[in-house]
Amino acid sequence: MLSKYQQLLLVVGLCCVLSVARADVDCSQRPKFVNPMTCCPMPEFVTAELKEKCQQYNVTPPSPPPMSMEQSGEGRRPHPHHHFLPPCFVSCVFNETGIYEDNGLDADKLKDHLSLVFKDSDELQNVASDAFTNCAAKVDEWQDKMGNRPHPSPPPGLPMCPHKPAFLLGCAFKNMMKNCPASVWTDTEECNEAREFFKSCKPPHRRQASAAK
């Protein structure tokens, strides 16, 4: 058994190592793109049954207007996964499962769904539960930042749906990627560099905002 003094030294040592590791991350150099699902392979959050029930809403939204290299960030590519699903589709999924209704997260229904889709991994269930809980607390904060900014128009024939559910799912997905369990994580140089970058570095627009203050 380690003494309390030895335990303290161990904790301080680990903190120093982590600080050095994060200091080595060059936030001006975006890492090589790698598909997040390659780094943290996990079952789909949206089951085949839900896709069928909500298929009428699973329509690709119109492409956003082209952005300059400064706006988009050099080397930036979209991650074709949960956080880019159409808002109406995400709303349908949450309504069908009861996970997020009336701007509130139902912890029991979330737990039931996670135990279904991640039935083979208790670690993934725990990481996902924490991710959804933390992101649900940020939904209103995100809405306040958006203000009266207009949302993209929905595809023809579809209603204008709330964007909070889509934000929640996208936020949770990003959090799960950052905190992917070691038992699931693909331990490669590309994946590790990508995760360290997104853990340590703010997005370009946030870095610019911080510098302006």
Backbone angles phi, psi at 183, to 5 degrees: -70, -20
- Domain assignments of the chain as residue spans, ordered by start: 30-60+78-147+154-202
* Average pLDDT value for residue range 140-164: 65
With contact defined as beta carbons under 8 Å apart, do 121 and 184 qualify?
A: yes
User: pLDDT digit string (tens) for 76-86?
Assistant: 443 334 446 88
Does pTM surpass 0.85?
A: no
| Number of C-beta neighbours around residue 121 at 10 A | 17
User: pLDDT digit string (tens) for 95-139?
Assistant: 999 999 888 999 999 999 999 999 999 999 999 999 999 999 888
The DSSP-derived string for 87-101 is HHHHHHHHHHHTSEE
Q: Residue 103 has what pLDDT?
A: 84
Handedness of CA 144, 175, 109, 95 (dihedral sign): positive
Selected from 3.40.50.10240, 1.10.10.60, 1.10.101.10, 1.10.238.270, the CATH number assigned to the domain covering 30-60+78-147+154-202 reads: 1.10.238.270
